[in-house]
Structure 1
Amino acid sequence: MTTTRFINANVIDTRNGQVLPDRQVRVQDGRIVAVSDTALEGADDQVIDVRGRYLMPGMVDSHVHVTAITPNFALLETLSPFYVGAKSSELLKDMLMRGFTTVRDAGGADHGLASALEEDSLIGPRLMYAGRALSQTGGHADMRGAGQQTFEGCFCCAGLGRVCDGVSEVRRAARDEIRKGATQLKIMASGGVASPTDRVDSTQFSLEEIDAIVEEATAANIHTMAHAYTARAINRLIPRGVRTIEHGNLMDEESCRLFLEHGAYLTPTLITYDALAREGVEAGMAEHLQRKVYDVLEAGHKALAMAQEHGVKMLYGSDLLGRMQRYQLDEFHLRKDVIPTAELLRSATCNAADAYGHSGDFGEVIPGARGDLLVLEGNPLDDITVLTRPEEQLLLIMKAGKLYKNVM
């Protein structure tokens, strides 16, 4: 692999929220091997003169559904997985071109997509995947309608989740997803918007079932992420070792205390509710499900402010579905008036690595980290919206030492 040396770079130190001026950065064999304020030698290096622009690590979206080519999940489960994979390839390429070099899939993706991306058979970000999200009968990943006695598709094809009940079943399901290479397990632990038979304010899975899932993840040295809206759902999850809470729109002060006590992370996904409210039905969501969006839409903004006030660590997440995935960068707009710029940038970089148990592996421009780098015209620490205009601001994208865009 070519050794690349960036010179005259203003490096964004994401962990400390500062600019390191006039740096050289060497990437070799897919990893950063040196960051220096003096000249690095290397006659055979490919040299890229950044010319005072801003070099930062590739971004991380901690909540995506790369196979959610439609917000109609019942339809998705009947589609050919070959068709879904082909359409997902378009979504994945677009994510990389927005500057996301790593994404964490929250249900639906598998080892096949992850391997294709790793091999460059598909162009897109590095893919961490939960496999099938674990759901109880009638839970957030059970897409059967109230009057439906049988299922038209099958739970082994293109859906986002699998149904399991009881400690032995959830343990077997968790072990099966781990066997298939899951980098984290996803628990559907409360009601949701897109599921037809549950209520947003319901809790799902017994404590014993949750304990079994977390125990299996811990045994495999991976983390758990849990879909949860209400304080009642969140506050029973965090003490049991769930690492990241997804959404959290209806959390309370006790939730914040638990986040801090147990070192858990919150992944707000404000943009998906904004997008669903505006065009969910037009994009394919059933109208009666789209109405559930308003149960959590405004609450999400209040939860964000509460979490920031209490110092809860947060991750960047979008959770967008189908064609609405084009709004992936707009989460920055929805958070920027509440979250300080440096902290918002951390949520999309080093916080994710910390939350996943991979500190130093990505999300920072430091020796040993993956060679996932972006060059920007402007400084995102001065104006976070620089990141939301990739067509004009994002000049270079490197993932694992390979260039995917370079208009320097």
Structure 2
Amino acid sequence: MVANNLLIRNANVLDVVEGSYTQADIRIDDGMITEVGSSLGAAESAREIDAGGKFVLPGLIDAHVHVTAATADLGSLSSWSPSYVAFQAGRLMGDMLDRGFTTVRDASGADFGLHDAQAEGLVRGPRLFFCGKALSQTGGHGDSRARGTALFDSHQCCAGLGRIADGVDAVRAATRDELRKGAHHIKVMASGGVASPTDRIDSTQYSLDELHAIVEEAEAANRYVTAHAYTAKAINRSLEAGIRGIEHGNLLDDETVSLFRKHDAFLVPTLVTYWSLQEEGREFGLGQSNWEKVATVLDAGRRGLELAVRGGVNIVYGSDLLGGMQRHQAREFQIRAEVQPTIDVIRSATVTAAKLLQREGELGVVAPGAHGDLLILDADPVDDISILAESRIGTVVQAGRVVLEK
């Protein structure tokens, strides 16, 4: 039997764009959806599944993960054996797949090795889009050194999440280097953060000349740049520099919303990570001084999301969890649904995320020409988002293969 030929009959298929269901069969040939309609015939040797009227969604997309972050003590990663980190990443990726995330975008840490291993079936996990290492200025959010540490090793085999590059020439070279290694996007640290030891959350990082240079190099390679940014000032200068995605964005303002719309840019809130860091961060390796930063952005995140929703910003699903807290990945659905309509939360993890990834029509939809990534659920998640938030998923299909069946 060819493992990625599949026919699903009698499915209640969610059109995430329209927000409505249609009774249909779904045919997948060689891992791709070829037909969605009534009374379809199966390809020879295809497996058949009778959905019996159950609810079928596209596979989910999490656009902000760190598959190598097996601890919240990010500064310690660079001292770990790369092979040990790879095994940890494989475990974390397998867990993500079991939650229904058939595609993820890694926001620094993963490399071409993990991407290739997943694509070749050596690692069980979501399809992986990666940026390699995030670009950081000295003393920025990607600089994991304590104040008394002088050297920083950004060798590709070290398991850290960032690399330091200062000055226009240096950031051009660093961007080109990550693109050389196959990066699907470039990540830049444009403000301070919670997990970094020496910067303030309200700092802006990188000059405008440096940001413009990074964007220019990425666009020359037909790739895009996404930025870690919390404050309105940091976000606004990033958007004006041509950066396409903003990670977190907790402290955005009305001007920020206008800039998102002007540039058709994307916001990737990660509210669940602040909740989990406050509740469990120290247990999983987050230092006390870093833990104390969490309160600054925790409450602001919900207010920022509310402002973005009212302003019609492109909003994408992200979790950004670290270490053992990654088990809360799907809880972001529940948090978002307190602000957004449920169908919009689902769109953020499907069709809108696919647009950010530059994979419209290929991911996030159940339609001919898309990858055969599907979830089969016993209940309607549009009516009850806890179905997704609690990962109550009966069957997960990835590229036409049944990878989870309960």
With normalisation by structure 1, the TM-score equals: 0.97
Question: How far apart, CA to CA, are the structure 1 residues paired with 2:212 and 2:183?
Answer: 18
Q: Which runs of 5+ in 2 are unaligned?
A: none
The 3 A distance-change label for structure 1 pair 198 and 247 is same
State the match for 2:204 in structure 1.
Answer: 203
**Which letter maps to 1:406?**
E
Taking the TM superposition and a 5 Å limit, the aligned residue runs for 1:27-42 are 27-40=28-41, 42=43
User: How far is 1:322 from its partner?
Assistant: 0.4
- Please state if 1:144 is matched with 2:145: yes
**Which letter maps to 2:161?**
L
State the match for 1:319 in structure 2.
Answer: 320
Identity of aligned residues (%): 50
State the match for 1:396 in structure 2.
Answer: 395
- Please state if 1:216 is matched with 2:210: no
Taking the TM superposition and a 5 Å limit, the aligned residue runs for 1:222-237 are 222-237=223-238
Q: Is the 8 A contact 2:191 2:229 kept in 1?
A: yes
- Please state if 1:134 is matched with 2:112: no
- Please state if 1:299 is matched with 2:300: yes
Question: How far apart, CA to CA, are the structure 1 residues paired with 2:390 and 2:206?
Answer: 41
Taking the TM superposition and a 5 Å limit, the aligned residue runs for 1:211-360 are 211-360=212-361
Q: Deviations over 1:135-167 (max 9, x none)?
A: 00110000111222234x654300001000011
Q: Is the 8 A contact 2:332 2:389 kept in 1?
A: no
The 3 A distance-change label for structure 1 pair 295 and 41 is closer
User: How far is 1:40 from its partner?
Assistant: 3.2
User: How far is 1:221 from its partner?
Assistant: 1.0
Q: Deviations over 1:111-146 (max 9, x none)?
A: 000111011111000000000000001100001112
- Please state if 1:102 is matched with 2:103: yes
User: How far is 1:388 from its partner?
Assistant: 2.1
Question: How far apart, CA to CA, are the structure 1 residues paired with 2:123 and 2:357?
Answer: 24
Q: Is the 8 A contact 1:164 1:170 kept in 2?
A: yes
Taking the TM superposition and a 5 Å limit, the aligned residue runs for 1:46-195 are 46-151=47-152, 154-156=154-156, 157-195=158-196
State the match for 2:20 in structure 1.
Answer: 18
Question: How far apart, CA to CA, are the structure 2 residues paired with 1:154 and 1:240?
Answer: 26
Q: Is the 8 A contact 2:7 2:42 kept in 1?
A: no
Question: How far apart, CA to CA, are the structure 1 residues paired with 2:46 and 2:81?
Answer: 45
Question: How far apart, CA to CA, are the structure 2 residues paired with 1:5 and 1:38?
Answer: 10
Question: How far apart, CA to CA, are the structure 2 residues paired with 1:232 and 1:18?
Answer: 39
Q: Deviations over 1:213-264 (max 9, x none)?
A: 1111111111211000000000011122211100000000000001111100
Question: How far apart, CA to CA, are the structure 2 residues paired with 1:258 and 1:128?
Answer: 26
Question: How far apart, CA to CA, are the structure 2 residues paired with 1:106 and 1:241?
Answer: 18
Aligned with 2:93: secondary structure?
A: helix
Aligned with 1:257: secondary structure?
A: helix
The 3 A distance-change label for structure 1 pair 208 and 41 is same
Q: Is the 8 A contact 1:373 1:398 kept in 2?
A: yes
With normalisation by structure 2, the TM-score equals: 0.97
State the match for 1:406 in structure 2.
Answer: 405
Question: How far apart, CA to CA, are the structure 2 residues paired with 1:121 and 1:43?
Answer: 27
Q: Is the 8 A contact 1:26 1:35 kept in 2?
A: yes
Aligned with 2:79: secondary structure?
A: coil
Q: Which runs of 5+ in 1 are unaligned?
A: none
User: How far is 1:62 from its partner?
Assistant: 0.3
**Which letter maps to 2:373?**
D
Question: How far apart, CA to CA, are the structure 1 residues paired with 2:244 and 2:151?
Answer: 35
**Which letter maps to 2:327?**
R
Using the TM superposition, name which of 30-39 and 364-373 deviates more: 30-39
Question: How far apart, CA to CA, are the structure 1 residues paired with 2:168 and 2:84?
Answer: 34
Question: How far apart, CA to CA, are the structure 2 residues paired with 1:14 and 1:26?
Answer: 18
Q: Is the 8 A contact 1:77 1:155 kept in 2?
A: no
Question: How far apart, CA to CA, are the structure 2 residues paired with 1:405 and 1:150?
Answer: 45
The 3 A distance-change label for structure 1 pair 177 and 343 is same
Question: How far apart, CA to CA, are the structure 1 residues paired with 2:390 and 2:299?
Answer: 26
Question: How far apart, CA to CA, are the structure 2 residues paired with 1:166 and 1:150?
Answer: 18
Using the TM superposition, name which of 173-182 and 138-147 deviates more: 138-147
Q: Deviations over 1:61-108 (max 9, x none)?
A: 000000001111111111111111111111000000000000000000
Aligned length: 403
Q: Is the 8 A contact 2:232 2:256 kept in 1?
A: yes
User: How far is 1:275 from its partner?
Assistant: 0.4
Q: Is the 8 A contact 2:61 2:103 kept in 1?
A: yes
